C-alpha cells in the first residue's frame, strides 16, 4: 500500500470513529513519520532556556517555554522570546515530527514574518546554537 492510499484509509477510519480534524491531522503526521522511520523530537528539559539571556549583543532577551503553539496544526515545542527593552515578542518553534530524517523543522516568527528551515537535529542539544537562533529573531527582516 502506498503512503497516499494509507493516508486516505487512515483519514476515513478516523472520520468514521468520530475524531475531530485536529486529531486526524496529528494521527496522519504520526503515521507518515512512522512510515519514514522518523523519530519524534523530545526535549527532556525545555524550560532550561527560560529566563533572561544576554549574549554577544547588547540585547537582553526574556525566554519562556510555552509548550505547544496552538496556532499550528502540527505538534510542536515553542518558546516565546521577548526583547526586554522593547517588549517585542517573537516565537521559536520546533515541530515534534520533522519533515526529514536527521533534521528538525524550525519555525521562526519574528516581527510578523514566519520562516521555516530544516536544521541538523543534533544541533538541538547545543545550548549556544539554540541561543543564537533566539537572537536571530531580533534581526529586522529587511
Residues sharing a CB contact under 8 Å with residue 101, sequence separation 6 or more, in sequence order: 36, 37, 38
Distance CA 7, CA 34 (A): 12
Report domain extents, the chain. 3-35, 46-136
For the entire predicted model, the pTM comes to 0.77
Instruction: Give residue-wise pLDDT tens across range 47-79.
Output: 888 999 887 777 899 999 999 888 888 889 999
CB 53 within 8 A of CB 134: yes
Could you give the residue ranges of the DSSP H alpha helices within the chain? 3-16, 21-35, 127-136
CB 133 within 8 A of CB 66: no
- pLDDT at residue 141, rounded to an integer: 64
The winner for highest mean pLDDT among 2-11, 13-22, 87-96 is 87-96
CB 104 within 8 A of CB 74: no
Amino acid at each position: 500500500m502506498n503512503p497516499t492510499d494509507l493516508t486516505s484509509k487512515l483519514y476515513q477510519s478516523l472520520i468514521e470513529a468520530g475524531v475531530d480534524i485536529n486529531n486526524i491531522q496529528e494521527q496522519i503526521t504520526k503515521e507518515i513519520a512512522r512510515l519514514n522511520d522518523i523519530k519524534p523530537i523530545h526535549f527532556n528539559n525545555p524550560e532550561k532556556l527560560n529566563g533572561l539571556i544576554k549574549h554577544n549583543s547588547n540585547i537582553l532577551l526574556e525566554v519562556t517555554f510555552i509548550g505547544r503553539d496552538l496556532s499550528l496544526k502540527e505538534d510542536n515545542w515553542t518558546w516565546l522570546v521577548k526583547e526586554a527593552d522593547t517588549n517585542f515578542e517573537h516565537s521559536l518553534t520546533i515541530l515534534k515530527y520533522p519533515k526529514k530524517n536527521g533534521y528538525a523543522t524550525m519555525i521562526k516568527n519574528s516581527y510578523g514574518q514566519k520562516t521555516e528551515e530544516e536544521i541538523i537535529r543534533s544541533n538541538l542539544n547545543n545550548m549556544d546554537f539554540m541561543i543564537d537562533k533566539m537572537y536571530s529573531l531580533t534581526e529586522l527582516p529587511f
